[in-house]
Amino acid sequence: MVLLFFFASCKENGTEPIVKPPKLTINEVRINGRQWFNNSTVTDISITQKPIVEIKFSNAFDIAKFNKSMVSFSGEIGQNYNIAGSSDNKTLIINVNVLPKELTKYSFNINQGDNLGGYVNPNFSAEFTTQLDSTYKFPEIANEELLTLVQKQTFKYFWDYGHPVSGLARERLSSGETVTMGGSGFGIMAVIVGIERGFITRQQGFERLNKIVNFLSNNADRFHGAFPHWMNGSTGKVLPFSTKDDGADLIETAFLIQGLLTIQSYFDTGNNDEQIMCSNIQKLWEEVEWNWFQKNNENVLYWHWSPNYNWDMNMHITGWNEGLIAYVLAASSPTFPISKNVYTEGWAKNGAIKNGNKYYDIKLPLGENLGGPLFFAHYSFLGLDPRNLSDQYASYWEQNMAHSKINYNYCVNNPNHFVGYSKDCWGLSASDIPGGYTASSPTNDNGTITPTAALASFPYTPTESMRALNFYYYVLGDKLWGDYGFKDAFNLSNKWVADSYLAIDQGPIIVMIENYRSALLWNLFMKQQDIKNGLTMLGFSY
Give the CATH number, domain containing residue 467: 1.50.10.140
Q: Give start and end residues of each alpha helix (H) in 14-91.
A: none
As a whole number of angstroms, the longest Cα–Cα distance in the chain is: 127
Same domain as 226, residue 120: no
- Say what the pLDDT of residue 21 is: 79
Q: Give start and end residues of each alpha helix (H) in 456-528.
A: 462-470, 477-480, 503-518, 520-526
Report the 10 Å Cβ neighbour count for 398.
18
Residue 364 lies in a domain: yes
Same domain as 150, residue 60: no
Query: Which CATH number is 122's domain given?
Result: 2.60.40.3710
E strands present in 131-247:
178-180, 230-232, 238-239
Terminal C-alpha separation, the chain: 109
The tens place of each residue's pLDDT in the chain, 542 residues long, gives: 444 443 444 444 556 666 677 899 999 999 999 999 999 999 889 999 999 999 999 999 999 999 999 999 999 999 999 999 999 999 999 999 999 999 999 999 999 999 999 999 999 999 999 999 999 999 999 999 999 999 999 999 999 999 999 999 999 999 999 999 999 999 999 999 999 999 999 999 999 999 999 999 999 999 999 999 999 999 999 999 999 999 999 999 999 999 999 999 999 999 999 999 999 999 999 999 999 999 999 999 999 999 999 999 999 999 999 999 999 999 999 999 999 999 999 999 999 999 999 999 999 999 999 999 999 999 999 999 999 999 999 999 999 999 999 999 999 999 998 989 999 999 999 999 999 999 999 999 999 999 999 999 999 999 999 999 999 999 999 999 999 999 999 999 999 999 999 999 999 999 999 999 999 999 999 999 999 999 999 999 99
Same domain as 266, residue 328: yes
Q: Which residues, in sequence order, are CB contacts of 111 under 8 Å at separation 6+?
A: 70, 71, 120, 123
Same domain as 532, residue 437: yes
- Say what the pLDDT of residue 161 is: 98
Cα dihedral 156, 158, 162, 168, rounded to 10, equals -170
Same domain as 361, residue 389: yes
Of the candidates 480, 516, 208, 471, the residue with the CA atom closest to the CA atom of residue 377:
516
Rounded (5°) CA angle 436-437-441: 130
Same domain as 184, residue 115: no
Residue 8 lies in a domain: no
Phi–psi pair at 506, nearest 5 degrees: -70, -40
Please confirm whether the linkage preceding 292 is cis (ω < 30° from 0): no
Rounded (5°) CA angle 424-426-432: 135
Residue 264 lies in a domain: yes
Number of domains into which the chain is organized = 2
Q: Which residues, in sequence order, are CB contacts of 174 under 8 Å at separation 6+?
A: none
Handedness of CA 174, 149, 408, 457 (dihedral sign): negative
Same domain as 375, residue 321: yes
Residue 16 lies in a domain: no
Same domain as 157, residue 65: no
Same domain as 451, residue 413: yes
Same domain as 184, residue 71: no
Q: Which amino acid is at 79?
A: Q
- Say what the pLDDT of residue 22 is: 87
Among 105, 130, 155, the domain boundary falls at 130
Rounded (5°) CA angle 226-229-231: 95
Q: Can you give the length of the chain in residues?
A: 542
Of the candidates 309, 319, 178, 314, the residue with the CA atom closest to the CA atom of residue 236:
178
Residue 106 lies in a domain: yes
| Alpha carbons 32 and 50: distance in angstroms, whole number | 9
Residue 533 lies in a domain: yes
Residue 96 lies in a domain: yes
| Alpha carbons 303 and 157: distance in angstroms, whole number | 28
**Do residues 105 and 22 lie in contact, with contact meaning Cβ atoms separated by under 8 Å?**
no
Which residues share a beta bridge with 430? 439
| Alpha carbons 175 and 179: distance in angstroms, whole number | 8
- Say what the pLDDT of residue 456 is: 99
Same domain as 147, residue 125: no
Could you tell me the residue range of the domain that residue 153 belongs to?
A: 143-538
- Say what the pLDDT of residue 44 is: 87
Residue 6 lies in a domain: no
Of the candidates 355, 364, 357, 366, the residue with the CA atom closest to the CA atom of residue 324:
366
Of the candidates 505, 514, 474, 540, the residue with the CA atom closest to the CA atom of residue 132:
474
Report the 10 Å Cβ neighbour count for 304.
28
Among 99, 130, 161, the domain boundary falls at 130
- Say what the pLDDT of residue 18 is: 62
**Parallel, antiparallel or unpaired: strands 124-130 and 41-45:** parallel
E strands present in 294-429:
301-302, 304-305, 316-317, 358-359, 362-363
Counting Cα atoms < 13 Å in the Cβ hemisphere of 96 gives 25
Report the 10 Å Cβ neighbour count for 409.
18
**Each residue's pLDDT tens digit, 439-495:** 999 999 999 999 999 999 999 999 999 999 999 999 999 999 999 999 999 999 999
Of the candidates 204, 185, 145, 226, the residue with the CA atom closest to the CA atom of residue 381:
185
Of the candidates 442, 405, 409, 440, the residue with the CA atom closest to the CA atom of residue 423:
409
E strands present in 99-151:
105-110, 113-115, 118-120, 124-130
- Say what the pLDDT of residue 10 is: 47
| Alpha carbons 468 and 488: distance in angstroms, whole number | 15
Rounded (5°) CA angle 286-290-293: 150
Same domain as 159, residue 36: no
Among 70, 101, 130, the domain boundary falls at 130
**Do residues 490 and 163 lie in contact, with contact meaning Cβ atoms separated by under 8 Å?**
no
E strands present in 321-375:
358-359, 362-363
